[in-house]
Amino acid sequence: MRKSSIFRGAQALILLLLVALLAACGGRDAINEGTSDIASANRPAAFDLTVAADKDSQFEYDGASLTREDLAGHLRYLAEIGKPVHTILLTPGEKEKIKSTHVAALAGICRDLKITGYVRDNDGHLKVIQVVE
């Protein structure tokens, strides 16, 4: 009986520490990780494609919610029909702010398809996604 209460106490302590660790990892400046500011001279005049952040780490494009895989498939389709996308811009959505999961998903797409990704963060600053291979 005594061992079971000690074991439960240890489980509760470990769970509490994990929750505290997760809370410490998530921060307000999570978008800044993996992106860097752009000098005004290096900003593109226009972007080939613009998507907005949507709920559940999805992207809103042309009125539709797209998953990471759907967006990558659409970009591949555009390349196949002779309209390749070289630059893509992620903006905050009407109902959803940009989260680090949006940036991570877009970075993966940019890495896989050799596209330059940009983020207009929640404060209005333009940043380029740094793809690490």
Name the nearest CA neighbour of 34 among 99, 126, 114, 103.
103
List CB contacts of 125: < 8 A, sequence separation 6 or more: 37
Q: What confidence tens digit (pLDDT) does each residue in 17-51 have? A: 444 444 444 444 444 455 556 655 567 788 999 99
Contact 101, 64 (CB under 8 A): no
pTM: predicted TM-score of the whole model, two decimal places: 0.69
Reduced DSSP (H G I as helix, E B as strand, rest coil) percent helix, strand, coil of the chain, to 5: 45, 25, 30
Give the 3-state secondary structure of residue 115: coil
Q: What confidence tens digit (pLDDT) does each residue in 47-100 have? A: 999 999 999 999 999 999 999 999 999 999 999 999 999 999 999 999 899 999
